[in-house]
A = this chain, B = another copy of it.
Amino acid sequence: MAANDEDISRTAQSTTQRAYLALRDAILSGEIAPGERLKVETLKSTYATGASPVREALSLLTSDQLVERRDQRGFRVAQASKEQFEEILNLRCKLEDLALQTSLMKATKEWEDRLVLAHHHMSRAYNAPAKEFEEHHKAFHMALISACESPILLRFCDQLYSLNVRYRNFAGKSKGYAKRDVAEEHNEIFQAAVDRDTTRASELLASHYRITGNYLVDLLTIS
């Protein structure tokens, strides 16, 4: 569910989709804290909808590992920990590396065009509101690996990306973050990708994740 739903986030047809996206947003942004109970009754009124869409949305979020279901005891926001953050970081490095290499191997003209556009749009959004930048940032990272021709792997990466966003938000919007030299790192990755320099792109992407990760891990207030 985490995959390819962003495009319809605005025009979400079904109430279930709207509830799912709104709730996910609230959890990823930290608006609802880890461990907090998610009572269907409360959510019903918050999102002005019935019980069925809420319960379905919660079910979907359970599969995204953003919500935990304790049998007969309702739903709660998934717990977060430094260990999990490191697990996610690690898996992202491994899985995206795999996806990136495959993607570069199978790269097409259309893929390159998609990447160029995604990179351009992200570049123009560094100073945009966090939420808007986030969208473009994700689009760029997904574009990199989008030629790997493995929908399942892409879905896993998408899911991991979302989980990671949550931790990034836990670390707070410390000013320096986006400024550091993320932009330059992105540029180098982008360049290596269009050059089809697989090994260099791989290294750059992994180091990009590890640098950001180590930077974030110190800011995490959770255990």
Q: Which residues of B contact A94 (CB under 8 A)?
A: 98
Q: Mark A152-189, 1 if CB is under 8 A from B, else 0.
A: 11011000100100000000000000000000000000
Tell me the complex Cα distance, A14–B59, Å: 14
Determine whether the beta carbon of A150 is less than 8 Å from that of B90: yes
Q: What's the minimum C-beta distance from A146 to chain B, rounded to whole angstroms?
A: 15
The verdict on A13 contacting chain B, using a C-beta distance below 8 Å, is yes
Copies of the polypeptide in the assembly:
2
Interface range, A side? 20 to 34
Given A17-B71, A55-B56, A98-B94, residue A63 in contact with residue B65 (CB < 8 A): no
A-B contact pairs, 9 of them (CB 8 A): A13-B71, A52-B55, A59-B60, A59-B63, A60-B63, A63-B63, A63-B64, A87-B149, A91-B152
